[in-house]
Structure 1
Amino acid sequence: MSTNSTATPTTEHIPGDTDWPYAVLAATCERIGASPEDARLIKFTNNAVFALARDPFVVRIAGSSAIEKRVNKVVSVANWLARHDMPTVRLVEGIEQPMTVDGRLVTVWHKVADVGPQPTGHDLGRIAKRFHALPDAPGSLPKWDQLHSTRTRLATQDVLTGDEHDFLAQTADELEAELAEVDYLLEPGPIHGDVFAGNLIPGPDWPVLCDFDSTCHGPREWDLTPAAVGRLRFHYPVDYHGQLAEAYGLDITTWPGFTVFRRIRELQLVCSVLPVLRSSPRIRDQWRHRFETFRDGDLDAVWTTYT
């Protein structure tokens, strides 16, 4: 996993965040014989992710019960991808994976030195196409059901008003009905589940894909959706979607089912951080903007990434 981050060192905790990730990091490092000193918090939404400064590791700590249910699958998928020499992040060998530390599930990954060129949408398209062609996927892969995952987050949140919850739940129900009428273009199979530029890390040899929380068996169209929604919602300076479509050979936005997939993706982006929103006050303003524009049907509103 990448070391690229503007995150705060562990010696300077983010105001309003709880201290538990730092305590779990320290206990994890003690167990594996590493040092937590000067570690950097790369990300803290659904997972707390730290890059160690004194060891070539990244420590990933599940931040909610919904995410914890996926950790064993993540380990299985990472090992499967490694067997096929996919350009993906690698678990550290020779230690228990996952491990339970202070009641939290933790995985430890090799740090990727992000010294290569910035990844492009062409890289995304090539990797997605190769991923979709892989054989012998783990038999334990769950079936794609993004709406179920969204409902799980709605059930475990404690920040929404009753009206906000009802709107999101009703939207999920409406989308489930619409999804049943979709005609697909591609054969279903193993999918990464969250193919977008933020999950592609520049490496010394080539970009590598990370984050297998959403990996499952499902419609390949879904792996082409995040980059398309990214262009529509986040207005990135690089047209990752256009490049991905060129490399993969399909522009998903021309598919009639994309309208439904776009709304499912946007609902996911609204609900993804709900279980940790109370403990992560720094992202609340960004979340509020996403929710209100999604609720209001504002298709032109620009969203920002969580930081």
Structure 2
Amino acid sequence: MTTMRLGNGTWSILRAACVGVGINAAGAQLLRVTQDIDYGLPDGVVVRIGARGQEGAAKRAVDVARWLAFSGIPVVQAVSDIRQPVVVDGHAVTFWHALPPHRAGTPAEVAAALTRLHGLSPPTDLELGRVAPFVGLDERIAAAHTSSADDRSWLRGYLEELRGRWSALPTGQPWCVIHGAAWSGNVVVAEDGSVILLDPGQLSIGPPEWDLVHAAIECASFGWISDELYAQYCRGYGRDVMRWDGFYLLRDIREFRMATMAAQAAAANPVYQQQADLRLACIRGDIGPRPWAGWAALAD
């Protein structure tokens, strides 16, 4: 997570980017602050301001979204008549159509969307790259200044253990196009029944189990969804990833990524410190067996 200071700086970036593409920024409303900052415009356009130095990632997200749409996969839509991204003061700015009225996808709907995605042939004119499960984790640990030196040392050691285990990942389903961030919040359903994928920037080629493990830990690690809803998910996809020998490794990597995200967020905003401490205690074995109570999504 890269923090970005709000205020006149982001407003000026927003205005400059909009002027550059001929869009009126009047009436813009701040929608969300995560590693990116989203502003909504009255005409139904969402302007996303990325962290400095992320021009390549921003362009990739737009290119992937356009490829998915061309392939018949409903996806959040980049504005088509704008050459993107627009770079202002080192920040990559992209322009997206606001979503229609929608609700979060059910586990069964998420499974159906992943079935379609995993069945795609990789693009011939767009390099998706291979999944990188450890990308950014060293930086997250280094940025976790509110964690003790002992805690950061433990995190670094555990990260090395996970890397070693990944090198011996058991054989599973053939690698394919995967979403990379297939949490239920990243799949929404419009009023016409369209199941829309969000956050296309993490698409890659990798084991489909990397996507399937999300729902498994939502159920087994955090208790966010019930056993019955998880069973519906498995029936919808046709497979229960928890029955695969590699599940425990992918579960541990996902939990580790979530723990280090909270640790980095706490260094930028103390409101996340309790969540960071809880997540670390859980993955270190201080809390007891799963499911662990208290894990909550980091607020936008």
Q: TM-score, normalised by structure 2?
A: 0.85
Alpha-carbon displacement from aligned partner over 1:158-202 (angstroms, at most 9, x marks no partner): 554322222222111111212223322200122110111110123
Q: How does 1:256-275 map to 2 (within 5 A)?
A: 256-272=245-261
Q: 1:290 aligns with which of 279, 283, 297?
A: 279
State the partner residue of 1:204: 191
Alignment-derived partner of residue 17 in structure 2: 28
Q: 1:243 to 1:49 in 2, by over 3 A?
A: farther
Structure 1 partner of 2:204: 216
Aligned to 2:91: 104
How far did residue 91 of structure 1 move?
Answer: 0.4
Alignment-derived partner of residue 50 in structure 1: 39
The residue matched to 2:165 in structure 1 has which SS? helix
Cα deviation 1:223-271 (Å, max 9, x = unaligned): 1011111223442256653332111101111112111110000011122
Counterpart of 1:70, as a letter, is: A
Taking the aligned partners of 2:56 and 2:64, their CA distance within structure 1 comes to: 14
Distance change >3 Å, CA 297–CA 189, structure 1 → 2: farther
Q: 2:105 aligns with which of 119, 133, 139?
A: 119
Change (3 A) 1:275 1:68: farther
- List gaps (5 residues or longer) in structure 1: 1-15
2:49 is aligned with 1:61 = yes
Match of 1:78 among 65, 73, 86: 65
SS at 1:107's partner residue?
strand
After superposition, residues 48-197 of structure 1 pair within 5 angstroms as 48-52=37-41, 54-63=42-51, 70-115=57-102, 118-137=104-123, 139-155=126-142, 158-197=145-184
Deviation, structure 1 residue 80:
1.2
Q: Aligned residues: percent identity?
A: 26
- 1:28-62 per-position Cα deviation (integer Å, ceiling 9, x unaligned): 334341335251323x222222333x121122222
Counterpart contact for 1:99–1:106, Cα < 8 Å: yes
Q: Give the residue type in structure 2 aligned to 1:301.
A: W
Confirm or deny that 1:306 pairs with 2:295.
no
Whether the 8 Å contact between 2:36 and 2:51 is mirrored in structure 1 is yes
Instruction: Classify 1:293/1:276 alpha carbon distance in 2 versus 1 (closer, same or farther; 3 Å).
Output: closer
- Answer yes or no: is 1:39 the counterpart of 2:29: yes
- For 2:115, give the aligned amino acid: K
Name the SS of the counterpart of 2:105 in structure 1: coil
Whether the 8 Å CA contact 1:270–1:291 is kept in 2: the answer is yes
200-209 vs 20-29, which moves further: 20-29
**What CA distance in whole angstroms lies between the structure 2 residues aligned with 1:210 and 1:306?**
18
Contact 1:153 1:274 in 2 (8 A): yes
Matched letter for residue 305 of structure 1: A
1: distance between equivalents of 2:225 and 2:177? 30
Q: Which amino acid in the other structure matches residue 258 of structure 2?
A: L
Paired with 1:297 and 1:256, the residues of 2 have a C-alpha distance of 25
Q: Secondary structure at the match of 2:134?
A: helix
Q: Taking structure 1 as the reference length, what is the TM-score of the superposition?
A: 0.83
Distance 1:36 1:127, change over 3 A: farther
AA of the residue aligned to 2:237: Y
